[in-house]
Structure 1
Amino acid sequence: MTTLISFLGKGRLDARRTGYQQTTYRFSADFARSVAWFGLALAEHLKPQRLILVGTSGSMWDAFFERQGNDDEEILRLMEATEREDVTHDLLDLPRQRLAEQLGIPVVCLLIRYARDTAEQVHILHDLAAVVRRGERLCLDLTHGFRHLPMLALVAARYLERVAGVEIEELYYGAYDMRNNADETPVLRLRGLLTMLNWVDALATYDKDGDYGVFAPLLADDGMAAGTAERLAQAAYFERTSNPVSAQKTLSGVFRAVEAHRGRLGALFGETLQKRIGWFRGAQREDWELSLAAAYLERRDYLRAATFLYEAFITRACKQQGLADSDGFGNRKHAYKAASKTTPQLRQLVDLRNSLAHGVRPHTAESQRTLADEDRLRSRLQELRRALFPPGTGSIS
C-alpha cells in the first residue's frame, strides 16, 4: 500500500485567502496540474491508497479546506483557531472526512509540534511513526512545510525505514522558485538523498566492524555488474572468517572494478572505499594479516586484532623455519611450538586470544589485569605487536 505524507505550512494569506500561489506543477512531459496546493496534484499523480496531511496548530488548515469547498461555518472556526495557533483534531475531523469522500481514499490529519528544539523534533518522529503501518510504501511531499521541516523530514524518512519498517519510495518537492519561462514549476524527486545516506551508513558500518560487504548492494544499485559487486561481499566474508589469503585474492580481482567504477554515487565515495580495502596490497600474507590486526584494533575488535596478530607471527615463523606450506594446520602448529619456546610474548598473546575467544580466565595474573581494563588491553596488544614485529624484521616494519 502506498501512502502520501504531505506537509502543510503556515504561509501568508492574501486578501482573497488563496493561501499558496497557484502554479502549474510539471511532473512529466504528459502530466501537469495547475494548483495552489502541491500535495493534491501529487495525490492525483501518484494515486495513493492513503493521504496523511501533516501540519502544526497554526498551519493554513483554514485556507486549505476552504479551497476544497467546505462549509463556511466550519472554515470560520478553523480561521479563528488558526489565528490563535490553536487548531485541534476535533476541528479538522469533519473537513478531513469530506476530503476523504472527494478523493475516495482515507485521509489522516496529523498535528505536530513546531520542531523548535530537540524535544519537539523527537516528538514529531514519534507522531509520524504512530500513524504509519509496517510494510507501507511512503511518498513524502516536502513542499509546503516550514523551511526547516525538509531537514527533519529527511531524518524522519530514515527513522521510519529503520524503526517503523516502511519503505520510502520517493521524496517530492515542488520547486516554485525554479519556475521556467512558461511559468511551470518543476517537480523534484529527492530519493537520491536517502541513497547518499545509505552510503554514509555503509562507511560508518565499515569503520565500526570492517565489513566492506555492505558496499556490494550499493555498488550494484549504482550500476556495477552484480557479479562484480558480489565478489566484494565474498572477499569481506573470507576476511571475517579469518581467511586472508582468499580475501586478498578476491579483492585483487575486484579492486580494479571498484577503482574504475564511475556510477554517480560510487564516484562520490569510491576513493574513500578504495582506501578502506587497500590492505590487500601488502607484499605477502604476513603483511595482510598484520594490517588487518591493526585495523581491527583501531575498531576495538580485540578478538580479531589478537587473532590476526597471532596469525601474522605464525605465517612469518613458518617461513623462517622453512615450512613452505603456511596454510597447513600441522605446519602452523609446529611453527607455534618452536617459536613459543623462545618467545614469551607469543605465549602471552595466545593467552589473551584464548580468553577473548572462549571467555575463560587467563592463565596469568598479568593477563587477568590486562583484560579487566580496555585501555590496558589496547596498550598491551600494541606492545605485543612491537615486540613480535620489531622494526627492520622481514617485510614488516
Structure 2
Amino acid sequence: MKNILLSIIGIGRNQSGKGYIKTKYKFENGQTYETAFFGSALYRYLFNEKNIDKWYIFGTDKSSWSEIIDTIDEDYKNNLEELYYKVWDEERSGISKNTLNEWQEKLSNYIPGIELINIDPLDYKFYVEFLIKNLPDDELYIILDITHGYRFMPFILSFSIMYIKNFKKIVDLDIYYGALEMKGDEAPVIKIDFINELFKLTTSYEIYKYSGYFPEILKNLGIQNTENTYFQIEMNWRPQKELKEITAKLDNIEESYKTLCAENIKKELQPLLEKELLEDRMIERAKYFFEKNQYLKSLILIYEAITIRMLKRLGITKIHDIPNRKEFLRDKIPQILKEKWMQDNFKILEGVRNSAVHGNIRDSSLYQHIKDREKFSELFKSSLILYEKLKK
C-alpha cells in the first residue's frame, strides 16, 4: 500500500507580515513539533510511524514555500540556507518556476517523494486531474492536511478525492487539521476520523443504491461477513437465517446518522425474508433491480417468475423436474393465459428476454422494447400485472 500525504500551503501572516506564525503543534500521542507550516509537523509525525511515499504540496507562486524547511532536521538546514533565502525573497512578488523546481530538488534530498505544485487557486479542475494522473494504481492510504491555503481549497480537494475513489484504490483516508485558533500553550492537532467514516458510508451506500451490492455498506455499519449471503440471494436462494440476523443487527444500530441508512436497507431486504415462494422473491428482486436501472436483471427475473407461476397453474408441483420450461409451455399458453392481452404480453416479454440475453433480435416488432426505455418500462409494469393475475 502506498502512503500519500496531501498538503496545501498558503501565504500566512505572522508579525513580520510574511509567512506563518511559528507554532508548537501537539498530536494525540503527546508528541509536539514546532513549525510555521503545519504540513512539516504532520510529515514528521507520520514519518515516525510509516513511510510516506509521496508528499504533494499545493500552493500559489506567493505561498510560503520557504517554510517547508522546518521539515528538515536542524543539522542539515545550513546546507539549504542560501537557496532558502532566495525562495523566501522571491515569494514576495511570486516565485519563479525554476526556483521552485530547484527548491523541490534540494528538499527531496532530505524529504523523499516531496513534490511542490504551483497552482492557480481558481482552477478548480486541477486537483482532480492531477490526482487522477499522478496517484498510482496501488492500494492507497491518503492523508489530507486541510490546515492552510485559501479556505475553499481543502473542500475542492476533498470532493476530488471522493470522485477519484471510483477509479483509484483508496483503502483509507485520514484528515488532519492544525487548530491554531484553539491554541493555549500548544495548538492541538485534530484528526477528523468522522469525515473518513462518512466518506466510507457515502461511497459504499452509493454502490448499494445503484447496484444492490450490500456487503460493503453493511461492513461500514458494523455488520461483517455478508458476502456469501449476497451471493446466495443473487443465485435465487433464500438464506432466511442470515437475513434475519442482518435485519436484527440493522435494528440494533443506535447512531441516528446511521439509522436512516439501516432502515432503507432493511426495507429493501424485508420482502426477501417475508416471501415464502421462489417466484414471489424473484418478483421482488425484479422490482428491486428495475428501480436501480438494472433492466436485464429485472427482465430475466420477471420472466422466470411468470413461467414458474404458469407451470403451477397447470398443477405442476415439481417445477425443477422440467428441463426446458419454454418448450414445455409452448403449446399450453392458450390454456393458461386465457385472455388475449395476457398471451400478447407474455409473447413480447419472452421475445424481449431472449433478444436481450442472447443479443439476437430476430423480430423487428421487439425493437421498440429493446431500444426505448419507456417502452420497456411499460412492458415491465404490464408483466407485473400479468403475474398478479396468474396468482389468483
TM-score normalised by the shorter chain: which range applies?
A: 0.7 to 0.9
Q: Does the 8 A contact of 1:4 with 1:51 survive in 2?
A: yes
Q: CA-to-partner distance for each residue in 1:164-223, whole Å, 9 max, x for gaps?
A: 5565452211122334xx43322222354244233222322223222224435434xx3x
Residues 129-208 of structure 1 mapped to structure 2, 5 A cutoff: 129-135=132-138, 137-159=141-163, 161-165=165-169, 167-179=171-183, 182-208=184-210
Q: Which runs of 5+ in 1 are unaligned?
A: none
Structure 2 partner of 1:107: 114
- Equivalent-residue separation in structure 2 for 1:83 and 1:331 (angstroms): 81
Q: Does the 8 A contact of 2:143 with 2:174 survive in 1?
A: yes
| 1:82 matched to 2:97 | no
Q: CA-to-partner distance for each residue in 1:261-291, whole Å, 9 max, x for gaps?
A: 4579754631222223233144432432222
The residue type paired with residue 143 of structure 1 is T
- Equivalent-residue separation in structure 1 for 2:369 and 2:134 (angstroms): 50
Question: What is the percent sequence identity of the aligned residues?
Answer: 20
| 1:237 matched to 2:208 | no
* Shift in CA distance, 376/51, structure 1 to aligned 2, threshold 3 Å: closer
Structure 1 partner of 2:340: none
Structure 1 partner of 2:385: 386
- Equivalent-residue separation in structure 2 for 1:298 and 1:370 (angstroms): 17
Structure 2 partner of 1:278: 270
Structure 2 partner of 1:126: 129
Following TM superposition, by how much is the alpha carbon of 1:16 offset from its aligned partner in structure 2, in angstroms? 6.2
Q: Which runs of 5+ in 2 are unaligned?
A: 72-76, 338-342
Following TM superposition, by how much is the alpha carbon of 1:335 offset from its aligned partner in structure 2, in angstroms? 7.8
The residue type paired with residue 173 of structure 1 is Y
* Shift in CA distance, 185/268, structure 1 to aligned 2, threshold 3 Å: farther
Which of 220, 233, 240 pairs up with 1:218?
220
- Higher RCO, 1 or 2 (CA under 8 Å, sep at least 6)? 2
TM-score, scaled to structure 1: 0.79
Secondary structure of 1:193's counterpart equals helix
Q: Does the 8 A contact of 1:6 with 1:140 survive in 2?
A: yes
Structure 1 partner of 2:46: 46
Q: CA-to-partner distance for each residue in 1:278-328, whole Å, 9 max, x for gaps?
A: 331444324322222222222332222222222332343344443334454
- Equivalent-residue separation in structure 2 for 1:10 and 1:306 (angstroms): 59
Q: Does the 8 A contact of 2:141 with 2:171 survive in 1?
A: yes
* Shift in CA distance, 266/283, structure 1 to aligned 2, threshold 3 Å: same
- Equivalent-residue separation in structure 1 for 2:87 and 2:387 (angstroms): 80
| 1:35 matched to 2:45 | no
The residue type paired with residue 367 of structure 2 is Q
Which of 286, 291, 298 pairs up with 1:298?
291
Following TM superposition, by how much is the alpha carbon of 1:147 offset from its aligned partner in structure 2, in angstroms? 0.8
- Equivalent-residue separation in structure 2 for 1:369 and 1:77 (angstroms): 67
The residue type paired with residue 23 of structure 2 is T
